[in-house]
Chains A and B, each alone.
Chain A
Amino acid sequence: MEERTLDQLNPGDAAHVVSLDPRHPLRRRLLELGFVRGAPVTVVRRAPMGDPLELRVNGTDLALRLADLRGIRVRR
Chain B
Amino acid sequence: MTAPLLPPSVPDLGGLRLPDAAACAVTVARLQGAREPRVVVVGNPNVGKTTLINAVAGTRLKVGNWSGVTVEKREAHLSHAGRRVHLLDLPGAYSLSPHTPEELIARTALMDEAPDAVMNVLDAGNLERNLYLTLQLMDFGLPVAVALNLVDEARDKGLTVDAPALSRALGVPVIETVASRSVGTADLMSGVLDRATLGVAVRYPAAIEEAAQDLTSCMSGLSTLPPHAHRYLALALLEGDPSVRGRLAATGHQPLLEAADAHLAALEARGLDPLIEIAEARYARAGDLARVAVPQAQARRTFSERLDRLTLHPLLGIPLFLGLVLLVFRLTFSVASPFVDLIGGPLQDILSGWASAGLAWFPLARDLVVGAIIPGVGTVLSFLPTLLVLYLAMSFLEDSGYMARAAFLMDRAMRSVGLDGRAFIPLILGFGCNVPAVYATRTLERRSDRVLVSMILPFMSCSARLPVYVVFAAALFPRSGSWLVWGLYVLGMAVAFLFALVLRRTSLPAEGGGVLLELPPYRFPAWRVLWKHAWRRTASFARRARTTVMGTVAVVWLLLALPAVSGQRFATVPPQQSLFGVVSQAVSPIFAPLGFGNWQATGALVPGFIAKEVVVGTLGQIYLGEQAAAPAPLGLVAGITQTLGAAWDAVKASVSALPTVLALPSLSAGPSADTQTPLAAALARAFTPASGLAYLVFVLLYTPCIATVGAMAQEHGRRVAWVTVAYQLATAWVVGLIVYQIASRVL
Residues of A within 8 A of B (CB): 22, 24-34, 36-37, 39, 45-52, 54, 58-65, 67-68
Contacts and interface: CB of A to CB of B under 8 A. Distances in A.
A49 B276 contact: no
Given A32-B97, A33-B94, A61 B280 contact: no
A54 B312 contact: yes
A65 B99 CA distance: 18
B514 A25 contact: yes
B673 interface: no
A57 B97 CA distance: 20
A36 B275 CA distance: 11
Query: In the complex, which of the residues B99, B126, B127, B412 has the most CB atoms of chain A within 10 Å of its own CB atom?
Result: B412
A47 B408 contact: yes
B516 A29 contact: yes
A28 B97 CA distance: 8
Nearest to B240: A28
Given A29-B99, A36-B279, A47-B408, A58 B129 contact: yes
Contacts of B411: 47, 49, 51-52, 63, 65
Nearest to B280: A36
Contacts of B314: 46, 48
Given A29-B99, A47-B409, A59-B125, A52 B515 contact: yes
B275 A52 contact: no
Given A34-B283, A45-B312, A63 B517 contact: yes
A53 to B, nearest CB: 10
A47 B312 contact: yes
Given A48-B315, A48-B317, A59-B126, A31 B513 contact: no
B415 A63 contact: no
Contact of A26 (B239, B413, B514): B514
Nearest to A27: B275
Interface string B632-659: 0000000000000000000000000000
Given A36-B283, A52-B408, A63-B408, A31 B275 contact: yes
Query: In the complex, which of the residues B99, B129, B279, B313 has the most CB atoms of chain A within 10 Å of its own CB atom?
Result: B279
B518 A62 contact: yes
Contacts of B71: none
Given A31-B276, A34-B129, A26 B516 contact: yes
Query: In the complex, which of the residues A25, A54, A63, A64 has the most CB atoms of chain B within 10 Å of its own CB atom?
Result: A63
B519 interface: yes
Given A25-B514, A32-B94, A62-B516, A54 B408 contact: yes
Contacts of A48: 312-315, 317-318, 409
B515 A68 contact: yes
A31 B415 contact: no
Contacts of B315: 48
Given A28-B99, A34-B129, A48-B409, 17 more contacts: A25-B513, A26-B513, A28-B97, A29-B516, A36-B280, A39-B283, A47-B409, A48-B314, A48-B315, A49-B409, A51-B415, A52-B411, A62-B518, A62-B519, A63-B408, A64-B517, A68-B514
B160 to A, nearest CB: 15
A36 B277 CA distance: 9
Nearest to A22: B273
B583 to A, nearest CB: 50
Contacts of A30: 516
B599 to A, nearest CB: 49
Contacts of A58: 126, 128-129
A24 B514 contact: yes
B424 interface: no
Given A33-B129, A52-B412, A65 B280 contact: no
Contacts of A54: 312, 408, 519
B95 interface: yes
Contacts of B412: 47, 49-52
B279 A68 contact: no
Contacts of B128: 34, 58-59
B512 interface: yes
Contacts of A31: 275-276, 279
